[in-house]
Structure 1
Amino acid sequence: MEKKFYNCYSPKMMMFFAENEILPIDMFFHDETNKRIWVYKLDDKLSNLLRKWTAMKNV
């Protein structure tokens, strides 16, 4: 089964996405931690940004 959505728990990652013109389709608060979670549609552009994010974190 192919994943259709990506849940982002990181404010820094959310800002990285926004800087690259990717906006969340939804936002909610985690039931236990009350922290924000941003929901994105998982498409090719987001997948590429996730790879770029991972590469930057591994430098």
Structure 2
Amino acid sequence: MAEIIIDHDECIGCEACVETCPAVFEFNDEEEKAYVIEGSDPDEDCVDEAIASCPAECIEKV
């Protein structure tokens, strides 16, 4: 099963992934970084679109 990883050092907090795929990504306001929602489905249709929309290119599916 695939896993989604966000490199938090590279994340710029733009929230593009959260807007594109809110079923999988959420935003931590304190850290100003996006996170993968625990237990979310990495095969959601919107995941690849979220990865492509990330300007920091810090999201990958492994």
TM > 0.5:
no
Larger of the two Rg values belongs to structure: 1
> Structure with the greater relative contact order (CA < 8 A, sep ≥ 6): 1 or 2?
2
Q: What TM-score does the superposition give when structure 1 sets the normalisation length? A: 0.39
Q: What TM-score does the superposition give when structure 2 sets the normalisation length? A: 0.38
More helix by share: 1
